[in-house]
Amino acid sequence: METKACLVLLFFFLFLSSFLPQSQGKRQGEALDNLFKAKLNKHSTIDKSHFEPISLVHGAKVLSQVGLQERDRIEKLPGQPAVGFTQYGGYVTIDESAGRAFYYYFAEAQHSKQSLPLLLWLNGGPGCSSLAYGAMQELGPFRVHSDGKTLFKNRFAWNHAANVLFLESPAGVGFSYSNTTSDYEKGGDKRTAADNYVFLLNWLERFPEYKKRDFYISGESYAGHYVPELAHTILHHNKKANTSLINLKGIIIGNAVINDETDNQGMYDYFASHALISDETSHQINKYCDFSPNAPSESDQCNNAANEANLNVFPIDIYNIYAPLCSNPNLTAMPKKASVRFFDPCSDNYVYAYLNRPDVQKALHANVTKLNYDWEPCSDVIQTWEDSPSTMIPLLREFMENGLRVWIFSGDIDGRVPVTSTKYSINKMKLSVKSPWQPWYLNTQVGGYTQVYKGDLTFATVRGAGHQVPSYQPTRALTLISYFLSGKPLSDATWGN
């Protein structure tokens, strides 16, 4: 019960914080903090055991999708510049009896859409929207101007390399909803994976030309859980059916939650090595905290040191430790001069204003049931989170054994799920090195470093990128995804853009 109360409180805190300036840009990570704190609480009822997919006994229900693709086609978004690719948006029913439906936004490739792969992008939280972050602030084709009503092009959008599908998941996130409100009290990793799987089968029925296409799943932050869990669910059902129901080829996750113990340890080590906390606080954390999955409840000494660390990092943007905070969240009457290369820390506010406009919702085919709450970047309606495994490592091993391409990247100035956490988590897998640590280049500049492990797991850093890598380093992020999708090693990336 305490976990429930705790999460309710935390979601309430999120709700409050949405009225404070500067807060919106932090929300994706706040949701993550809340879950981590709840998981460390000794009275926690969150199930942290290994991920087992919900077995869809009769297989997933695939409904008729005739005519729905054409219905979902988006003519033009309000305030949008002219573009040469096609976009779609709409709802896919997940469960007819509960009245549960997921919202998606799909940007087809700018060229060669018949041959380029299909790429699904998921944001984390839990509870945060892939429309809010992925589509509108990171890798999508548009960004929102400071007037909250016009768009400008993202020259480095990932639909130069793939057909990109953004999904708001689970129910209660963004425009995705359930008519059975008790669904919001049963949030968790398992339900999310099962629903995402049902979504995909039905979406592919609506867009049958993508059924046989190479399919990849990508995401950041808590999608370090969602992505492997969905991939595992796909493999599970492909094996059961003895056929490739979904043509999954690989996964790529960035600044991703992978393994709680190493993620926590790596975060505090990053704080210490980047002079955000004192040596004394770091020493206390190392001496008194035990982040292992079966640790007894944390001691007072550990909690005091962790609180001290929180106080130290609170005033900065922990998702990009060198970024300025948003100092004026107000919209402007005329759009400020904007550039994809210089990320505006206030853009959460522009996106919030844009996606809550009735004309925008109409153009997107969103909110067709007139939900009784506003669109939020991270959910205020999901009440509890029932399960969150302490590690994703067994799933990553499974993918390597099954010949999927596995890439893990890390923006190196994120303090929340930093590069140290990711390195510790990969080290935990005890893989041997196939090609050693080396820089990768873009325009003669080092874009980051990469190392490939036997079994074909690629690790790559993105220099100068925060938690939302494509927001801060759009050219480097597009290079990374292009190499991942083409099957070429990132160390080959020596060309200009």
Ligand X SMILES: *[C@@H]1O[C@H](CO)[C@@H](O)[C@H](O)[C@H]1NC(C)=O
Instruction: Enumerate binding residues for ligand X (CB under 6 A).
Output: 93, 99, 101, 175, 179, 242, 328, 330, 358, 361, 367, 369-371, 373-375
Residue 40 CB, nearest distance to ligand X (Å)?
A: 32
Q: Which is nearer to ligand X, 15 or 495 (CB)?
A: 15
CB of 98 to ligand X, least distance (A): 8
Of 123 and 284, the one with the shorter C-beta distance to ligand X is: 123
347, 425, 467, 491: which is the annotated catalytic residue? 467
DSSP class per residue in 163-175:
EEEEEE-STTSTT
Catalytic residue among 225, 410, 414, 425: 414
Q: Closer to ligand X by CB, 328 or 339: give it.
A: 328
- Cβ atoms 187, 195 nearer than 8 A: no
User: Could you tell me if 255 and 410 are in contact, meaning their C-beta atoms sit under 8 angstroms apart?
Assistant: yes
Non-local CB neighbours of 155 within 8 Å, separated by 6+ positions: 340, 474
CB of 318 to ligand X, least distance (A): 23
Closest distance to ligand X from the beta carbon of 422 (Å) = 34
Tokens of 232: 């595992």
Beta carbons within 10 angstroms of residue 273's beta carbon: 12
Q: Which is nearer to ligand X, 296 or 358 (CB)?
A: 358
Distance from the Cα of residue 340 to its chain's centroid: 20
Nearest-5° angle of CA 58, CA 59, CA 61? 95
**Between residues 98 and 313, which has the closer beta carbon with respect to ligand X?**
98
DSSP string, 99-162: TEEEEEEEE--SS-TTTSPEEEEE--TTTB-TIIIIIIIISSSEEE-TTSS-EEE-TT-GGGTS
Provide, rounded to whole angstroms, the least separation between the CB of residue 95 and ligand X: 8
Query: Catalytic: 491?
Result: no
Active site residue 414: yes
Active-site entry in 221, 388, 421, 471: 221
Q: Give the C-alpha separation, 112 to 371, whole Å.
A: 37
Pairing of strands 163-168, 100-107: antiparallel
C-alpha atoms less than 13 angstroms from C-alpha of 420 in its C-beta half-sphere: 16
Peptide bond into 78 cis (omega under 30): no
- 317 tagged catalytic: no
**What residues act catalytically?**
221, 414, 467
